[in-house]
Chains A and B, each alone.
Chain A
Amino acid sequence: ETGVTQSPTHLIKTRGQQVTLRCSSQSGHNTVSWYQQALGQGPQFIFQYYREEENGRGNFPPRFSGLQFPNYSSELNVNALELDDSALYLCASSLGQGANTEAFFGQGTRLTVV
C-alpha cells in the first residue's frame, strides 16, 4: 500500500454534470500529478501541482481543473462531463518534481459518464 488514497473509488455521472475527485498524498509529499487512463490504454498526464501551484499541464481542455491544498491533498474537477471522460483517474504523489523521484499512485477513481 502506497499511502495515497483517492475518493470515491467509483462514480457514475450524467453527461453535462460536474464532478470532483479527491486525492490524499503520501505523508510529506508536496507534488501531486493527475492522470486519465481510458480502458485498454496507458495513463495520460492531465496536470501536476507543486506546493499549491499548477506546475505543468497535458493536452486537456480547461474544463479539467485542479487544486492543491496546504496539506498537499488535491482535487480534480471536471465540468460539463462528456461520455469520453469515462476512465480511471489516477493520482500520484511524490517528494519534488524531478524525474528521478518516485511517484506513488493511488488505486484510482473509476468514473463512468452516461
Chain B
Amino acid sequence: GEDVEQSLFLSVREGDSSVINCTYTDSSSTYLYWYKQEPGAGLQLLTYIFSNMDMKQDQRLTVLLNKKDKHLSLRIADTQTGDSAIYFCAESVKGSNYQLIWGAGTKLIIKP
C-alpha cells in the first residue's frame, strides 16, 4: 500500500538551513509536493516536483528527489521565524484519480 513518512519535529537556529525529509513507498508516484500549514490556516502549496526530475529550486526552497531510494527532501535556506509551521510531504499516485497521499507532517521549530 501507499505510505508517506516524515519526522515529526525539526529544530533549527534562525539563519541556518532547514532540511525536512520524507520517504514514500509507491514507485508509481507522479508528482511529489511540499505543503505548509500555519496555525489556524489552511494548507499552502510551497512547491512540487515531477517524478522524472531530481532537483527543483525556487528562491529559498530546494527540493531534492532520489527516486531510487524513494526519498524527498525540502531545504529552506536562511530559515526565518516566519517559516515556523508544519510541513507536509504528499504524493499523487497514478491510477488513483490523482488523490494525494500525505505524510503526518514535520513541525519546524525556529530557535533564536
Measured CB to CB, the residues of A under 8 A from B are 2, 4, 33, 40-45, 48, 55-56, 58, 90, 92, 97-100, 102-108
Contacts and interface: CB of A to CB of B under 8 A. Distances in A.
B13 to A, nearest CB: 25
Contact of A41 (B48, B101, B104): B104
Q: Is the interface of B mostly helix, strand, loop or mixed?
A: strand
B44 A43 contact: no
A54 to B, nearest CB: 10
Interface of B: 4, 30-31, 40-45, 48, 50, 88, 90, 92, 94, 96-105
A42 B99 contact: no
Q: Is the interface of A mostly helix, strand, loop or mixed?
A: loop
- The 9 A-B pairs of least Cβ separation, nearest first, read A56-B97, A42-B102, A105-B42, A99-B92, A45-B99, A105-B43, A99-B98, A99-B31, A107-B42
B102 A43 contact: yes
Given A45-B100, A99-B92, A108 B50 contact: no
B60 to A, nearest CB: 19
Contact of B99 (A41, A56, A98, A108): A56
Contact of A105 (B44, B48, B98): B44
